[in-house]
Structure 1
Amino acid sequence: MLRMIFIQLWNERKGNVLIFLELLVVSVFLWYMVDTLYVNYKEYERPLGFDISHVYHVRLATVPQSSVDYDTTAIHSHYGGGDFLTLYDRLAHNPSVESVCYTSNNHFHYRGSNSFATFKNDSLARQGYLRHVDPAYFRVFRVKTAHGESWEKLEQALRDNQIVVTGTVAETFFGDAGKAERKEIWITDQGRTDSMAYRIGAVSEPQRYADFSSYDYAYYKPVGTEEAFRNSSAGVADVLNLFIRVKPAADNSRFADDFTREMSQQMRLGNIYLKEVIPMTYYRNEFLRSWVDNIRMYASCILFFLLNVFLGIIGTFWFRTQQRSSEIGLRMAMGASRRNIFRHLFTEGFVLLGIAFVPAAIIFANLAYMEVTTQTEMQLSIAARILWGMGLTLVMIGLMVVIGMGFPAFRAMRMQPADTLHDE
C-alpha cells in the first residue's frame, strides 16, 4: 500500500506541493515556538531561592510638614527613626505575624528596584546586585543556605557585619559554596569607583529575581545599625520597605484589608502612619504580566498555525476526494472495504506529513546549532530540546491531520459504489 501511495503522491505532485510547503513552514515555526515555551517552562520550574507565600509588604508613609496633623515635637520631628523601630516592634508582637524585616528601597523582588555591584577576583568580573537588608530578611523570605540549611547562619553573618553571597557568586568565583565562606571578595558598589574587600560570612542558595529569570549574582549587607536609625528622621519610613510573614492559620484573602483596618491606630506614631498592606503575590502577578502576555502570544500563534494546517488539509483532501470519487467507487466495487478506503486516505496524509517533516527537522537542527533559538544559561541538552520540540510539534500537526483528514475520509467511506460509477 505504501508503494502505491508514494506513486499516487508523485503523480499528484503539483497539487501536493502547496500542502507540502505549508507543512514544512508551519513545522519550523511551531518547533521554534514550542522550543521557546519549553525553555520558559524549564526556567519557571527551577527554585527561586526565596519564598513569598504568606508575605506582605507593609507600606508606611510620613505626614508632610504642611499638614495640620504634623507632629512638631522634637522627639518625633528630629528622631523619628526611633518611631520606625517602635512600629517594627509592634508588628513583631502582633499575634498574626510570624516574623518582620525591612530592606532598603533598592531591594524589592518583583518591583525592579535594585542597586548594582561588580564582583571581582583577579581577572574575573561579573555584574550583579547589592541588597541592603535587615538580618531577619532571610527568616521572612525563607532563604536557605547553599547546603539547604535554615536561615539562622545567614542572619548571623549579617549580625557579625559580614556579607552573604548567593550560591552563583560562590560557585563562579570559588568553585564551591563551602570554599567561599570566610574568604574575601572584591566588590564595587553602584556609584563608587573603588572596590572594597568584603569577608563572606555565609552563602545562600542560588537566587533568581523572578520566576522566568536566570540565577543572578548578588550579595547581602546590613542596611544599617539600630543606633543610626534612632538618630535619623521620620523620613526613614519612606526609604525602607517593611515586610511581614503571616502565620498560615491567620492568612486569608481578606487579611490585608482587615490588618490595615485593625492596625491603623497602633501603626500611627509621631509622623509615621500605616498606608496600606499589599501581598507579595500582587507584585509577582504584576511583574510577570509581560511574560504571561508573551506566553499567551506564543500560544495564540501556535493555534493560528494549527488552524492553517487544519484548513489546508481538509480543503486539499476534500477536493481530492471529490476528484477521485470514481476511483474510490471502483475500488470498493472490486472488494475494497470501507475501512481500507478510510485507512488508505489517512496513510496518504501522514506520508505527506512525514515527507515534509524530515527537511523541517534538518532546518531546525541547524537553527539550534547556530544558536538562533531561545538562549538560556541553563545547561539544557540541544539534543533533548530538539527531540522534545520535534515530538510535540509532530503530535500537534499529526492531530490536525487526523481531524482534517477525518471529514473527507469519512465522506469517502460513506460513498456508494453504484452511485459513483453511475455518475462516472
Structure 2
Amino acid sequence: MQLLKQVWNERRSNGWLWAELLIVFVVLWFVVDWTYVTARTYYEPVGFDITDTYYLELSLKNNKSDSYIPKDKKNTTLGQDITELTNRLRRLPEVEAVSVSSNARPYIGSNSGMMLRIDTIVRNPLRRPMTPDFFQVFRYQSADGRGYQPLVQALKNGNVVVSENLWPDDFKGDRTLLGREVVNVDDSTEVFKIGGVSTKVRYNDFWPNYSDRYIAIAFPEKEMSGLNGEFYPSNIEVCLRVKPGTAKDFSEHLMNLSASQLSVGNLFILKVHDYENIRNDFQQGSYNQVQVRFWMMGFLLMNILLGIVGTFWFRTQHRRSELALRVAVGSSRMQLWNRLNSEGLMLLSLAALPAAIICYNIGYLDLMDGYMEWGIVRFLITFAISYFLMALMILAGIWFPARQAIRIQPAEALREE
C-alpha cells in the first residue's frame, strides 16, 4: 500500500510511463497472441500420418508410343486398368496398402462438397470417395480409439465414415453419430448409414482441427470399372504405404518397374511423389508467409525490448541522487534494489489492468488474425505470457543502472547532483 501511495504521489512523472506501458502491452499481446495461435495450430495432431506414403501420378500413352493400344483394339476400360495396376502394386513385397480415391488425399487442394441432413441439421462436409484401404494408408483413427480397422470395415460393409466434428459445435442434442442415417439434400432417395466415425482431420498444418468435416463414401470396383474418360488419370488418386524400414530409394525402384511390370494398357506411372515433398510444396506459401511475419514480429519485439529497457534505464539512472540519499539515511542496498523492482512491476500491473480489458475486447470482436477460436483460456495464456515478457524487460532495464547506482557512495552522488 505504501508503494502504491508513492507511485501515486509521483503521478506526474509516472503518468507518461504508465501510458507507454499500456500501449506497449497491447501491442506485445497482439504479437504474442498471433505467435501462440500459429504455433499451437501447427503442432496440433492433423489426424493422419504420411510417414512412408507415396502418391502415384498416372498418365496415358499417346499414339506416338510404340506400346500404344488403339481404342478399337483395347478391350478394357481405364477403370479396369487402374484396378489391375493397384492389384500389381499390392503384390510388391515392400507395399503395405494401396488406396484409390478422388479429391480425398491429404494436401490436395481440390475438393468436392455434399449437402447432408442429419435429423434436422443440415451440414456441408467434404465428399471423399475412396477405397477402404485409404484409412490404412493414411492411418486415420477411429474416434473410439480402435485405430483404422473399424473405418476400413465400415466402407467394406457399404456404409459411410464421417469425422466426429460433423455436428455443429453449439449443438445441444444427442451428439451420437455411429449408426445414424444421413440424407443427401440434393437427392432425398440417397440415404447413408454411418458405420464409422473418425477423429478430427485437418486440411493442412496451418488450419485448425475443426476446419475439415468430411464424409467418406466407398469407391467400389464396379463403379471404378466404368470409368473410361481420358481425363480420369489426373482425377484418380492412387496412394500407397510401404512397410517400415523400406529403403528411401523406393520411388526410384517403382519407376524402374513402371515400364516393365506396372504398365497396364495405355496406363502408366508418370511420377512417384514422396508425401513429405507433397506436404512441403502444398504449404510453401504458408511457410513463406509465417516466416515473413515472424521476422516482422521479431523486429517489433526488439524495438519493444529496447524501448522498455531504455526507458527504465534512463529513469533509474536519473534517480542516482535519490538512491544515494536513501542509503545515507539508512536504507540497505538490497532494500533499494527491491524497491526499484517493485515500482517497475507496480507500474506494469497498473497498466496491465486496462490493457486486459482492451485485449479481451479485441479478441472478442474477432479483430485478430488466425483460425483458432477465441476463448478465455487462449486469452489468459497469451496475457500471462505478455505480462511475463514485459516484466523481464522492465527488470532488465532496471538491473544494470540500479546495480551501479546503489554501489555509489552517497557523498559522491550528492556532489554530482
Structure 1 residue 308: deviation in Å?
Answer: 3.1
Question: In the alignment, does 2:217 pair up with 1:221?
Answer: yes
Equivalent-residue separation in structure 2 for 1:8 and 1:160 (angstroms)? 74
Please tell me whether the aligned partners of residues 158 and 222 of structure 1 are also in contact (alpha carbons under 8 angstroms): yes
Where 2:264 maps in the other structure, the secondary structure is coil
> Over residues 252-274 of structure 1, what are the superposed CA-to-partner deviations in whole Å (9 max), with x where a residue is unaligned?
4x443444345554223332222
Larger deviation, residues 165-174 vs 355-364: 165-174
1:232 and 2:228 are equivalent in the alignment: yes
**Separation in structure 2 between the aligned mates of residue 374 and residue 256 of structure 1, nearest angstrom:** 40
SS of 2:261 mapped into structure 1: coil
Q: CA separation in 2, counterparts of 1:98 and 1:173?
A: 42
**Residues 55 and 273 in structure 2, CA contact (< 8 A), matched pair in contact too:** yes
Residue 272 (str. 1) matches residue 271 (str. 2): no
CA distance in 2: counterparts of 1:202 and 1:73, whole angstroms:
41
Q: Which amino acid aligns with 1:343?
A: N
Q: What is the DSSP-based 3-state SS (H/G/I as helix, E as strand, rest coil) of the residue aligned with 1:53?
A: coil
Which residue number in structure 1 is paired with residue 413 of structure 2?
420
Indicate the residue corresponding to 1:210 in structure 2.
204
Closer, same or farther in 2 for the Cα pair 1:143/1:358, shift >3 Å?
A: same
The residue identity in structure 1 corresponding to 2:174 is: G
Select between 59-68 and 82-91 the one with higher mean Cα deviation. Answer: 59-68
Aligned CA-pair RMSD: 3.3
CA distance in 1 between counterparts of 2:252 and 2:8 reads 68
Correspondence for 1:392 = 385
Q: What is the deviation of 1:169?
A: 3.0
Aligned pairs for 1:99-110 (under 5 A) are 99-104=97-102, 106-110=103-107
Counterparts in 2 of 1:413 and 1:122: CA distance versus 1, 3 Å: same
Aligned length: 412
Alpha-carbon shift at residue 49 of structure 1 (Å): 3.2
- Is residue 333 of structure 2 the alignment partner of residue 356 of structure 1? no
**Residue of structure 2 equivalent to 1:16:** 14
Q: Give the conservation status (yes or no) of the 8 Å contact 2:113–2:126.
A: yes
Cα distance, 1:360 vs structure 2: 0.8
Query: Quick one: distance in 1 between partners of 2:232 and 2:311?
Result: 71
| Offset, 1:118 | 0.7
SS at match of 2:113: strand
Change (3 A) 1:418 1:314: same
Residue 84 of structure 1 aligns with which residue? 82
Structure 2 residue aligned with 1:162: 159
Contact 2:151 2:198 in 1 (8 A): no
Name the stretch that deviates more: 108-117 or 136-145: 136-145
SS in 2 for 1:107: coil
For residues 41-85 of structure 1, the C-alpha deviation after alignment (integer angstroms, 9 at most, x for no partner) is 554555433322221111121123355663337554863443322
Q: Secondary structure at the match of 2:124?
A: strand
1:52 corresponds to 2:50:
yes
Per-residue deviation, 1:311:
2.1
Any gaps of 5 or more consecutive residues in structure 1? none
Residue 92 of structure 2 aligns to a residue in which SS? coil
Percentage identity across paired residues of the two chains: 31
Matched, 1:130 2:123: no
Report the secondary structure of 2:141's partner residue.
coil
Q: Find the counterpart in structure 2 of residue 119 from structure 1.
A: 116
Mapped to 2, the partners of 1:173 and 1:61 lie a distance apart of 49
**Contact 1:77/1:271 (8 A) holds in 2:** no
Deviation, 1:394, is 0.8
Q: How much does 1:388 deviate?
A: 1.4
Instruction: Flag the 1:330–1:47 CA change in 2: closer, same or farther, 3 A.
Output: closer
8 Å CA contact retained: 1:20, 1:353: yes
Report the counterpart of residue 3 of structure 1 in structure 2. 2
The aligned residue for residue 200 of structure 1 is: 193
Q: CA deviation at 1:326?
A: 2.5
**Aligned-pair distance for 1:244?**
0.6
Q: What is the alpha-carbon distance in structure 1 between the residues aligned to residue 172 and residue 316 of structure 2?
A: 67
CA drift at 1:101: 0.7
Change (3 A) 1:357 1:128: same
Q: Distance in 2 between matches of 1:80 and 1:71?
A: 12
Structure 2 Cα separation of the partners of residues 201 and 341 of structure 1:
70
Does residue 1:405 correspond to 2:377, yes or no? no
Mapping of 1:328-347 within 5 angstroms?
328-347=323-342
With over 3 angstroms needed to count, the CA separation of the structure-2 counterparts of 1:265 and 1:57, relative to structure 1, is same
Could you tell me which residue of structure 2 aligns to residue 256 of structure 1? 251
What TM-score, normalized by structure 1, do the two folds share? 0.83
Among 118, 141, 146, the alignment partner of 1:144 is 141
Deviation per CA, 1:111-133: give whole Å up to 9, x if none: 21111111124542111111111
| 1:34 paired residue number | 32
State whether residues 118 and 181 of structure 2, in contact with CA within 8 Å, keep that contact through their aligned partners in structure 1: no
